[in-house]
Amino acid sequence: MNEATKTLIAAYHRNPSQVNYDALKRQVEANYDAVIARKQAKLEELRKEAHNQDIITQMEGMVDEVVKDRDHRVAQTMARFTDKRMRPGARTVHAGFLPLIDAKGNVSVAYTPVTNKEYAAYDKHHTYPKGQDNYPVVNVSYPEALGYCKWLSAKDGKTYRLPTQDEWELAAGHMPKDADFNCGIGKGLTAVDAHAKTTGACGGIDFWGNCWEWTSTQKVNGEQIVKGGSWDSNRMACRTEYRDESQQTNKSYDNVGFRIVREG
């Protein structure tokens, strides 16, 4: 986030007038348009070099995606920047959760995906290799992930559930181009905090790569949308805006885990 944006956010929170809102929105639009321009410039470079048509095709898809997504992404960013909870300390972890800025209602998102150790407290039959307490739990079907949420809700007295696709994207935010995470060249899962310097918009970690994460959003084909990519995904598929991946709810996968949100 550049200094001009920070200044305008602060100005809006001091005085949430329409004038300050409009000024902030113009800056957000300018920031997003700069991203589009950089990607379009990169695409033109690739076309001139013409070394690898697959890479060019991937970049064309990315450019089309960011252009098509412009209004939606600007609206999401504005909602996050103008949320009353957007204040110093909003990205501080409290009992493993962070405020999900701009979510409808009082919603918090888990700092990390659910780990083996956390899941084993629910499912006593869950086994995993020694030394992997802090690895994301995988091989958990969608109904099993819902079961964990139900168990935790009863245990804690609060409502826990899977995030919607939109909530997941709000929590992650746009993936930084220099983000460091486990994908593509990895040989398997890593601990959820192995790349803790790479954080999502909410301040959480391990959003991209390592394992896909179940969401509560269903595709028209009846499959459940998963987000974030995994250790065996290419970097393109790990992007927040990538919405083509879904899995069958009655199956479990060695590269799909889940992250939870808490209401109230």
Distance linking the first and last C-alpha atoms of the chain: 29
To the nearest 10°, the Cα dihedral for 157, 135, 90, 25? -120
CB count in 10 Å sphere of residue 235 = 17
> Are residues 131 and 116 in contact, defined by beta-carbon separation less than 8 angstroms?
no
Predicted local distance difference test score (pLDDT) of residue 191: 98
Predicted local distance difference test score (pLDDT) of residue 230: 97
Helix or strand (DSSP H, E) at 94: none
- SS3 at position 115: strand
Q: Residue ranges of the domains in the chain? A: 3-82, 97-263
Rg (CA), the chain: 19
Predicted local distance difference test score (pLDDT) of residue 76: 80
257 strand-pairing partners: 213
Phi, psi of 79 (to 5 degrees): -65, -40
Predicted local distance difference test score (pLDDT) of residue 11: 93
Predicted local distance difference test score (pLDDT) of residue 87: 59
| Eight-state DSSP code of residue 137 | P
Predicted local distance difference test score (pLDDT) of residue 88: 58
Predicted local distance difference test score (pLDDT) of residue 102: 67
Q: What is the pLDDT along the chain (264 residues), one digit of tens a residue?
A: 789 998 999 899 899 999 999 999 999 999 999 988 988 888 888 888 766 777 788 788 878 888 888 998 898 888 878 877 655 555 677 789 998 876 677 899 999 999 999 999 999 999 999 999 999 999 999 999 999 999 999 999 999 999 999 999 999 988 888 899 999 866 899 999 999 999 998 899 999 999 999 999 999 999 999 999 999 999 989 999 898 899 999 999 999 999 999 997
Q: Could you confirm whether domain 97-263 is CATH 3.30.300.180?
A: no
Predicted local distance difference test score (pLDDT) of residue 85: 63
> Are residues 76 and 223 in contact, defined by beta-carbon separation less than 8 angstroms?
no
pTM of the model: 0.79
- Residue 33: exposed, middle, or buried by beta-carbon count in 10 A (0-12, 13-18, 19+)? middle
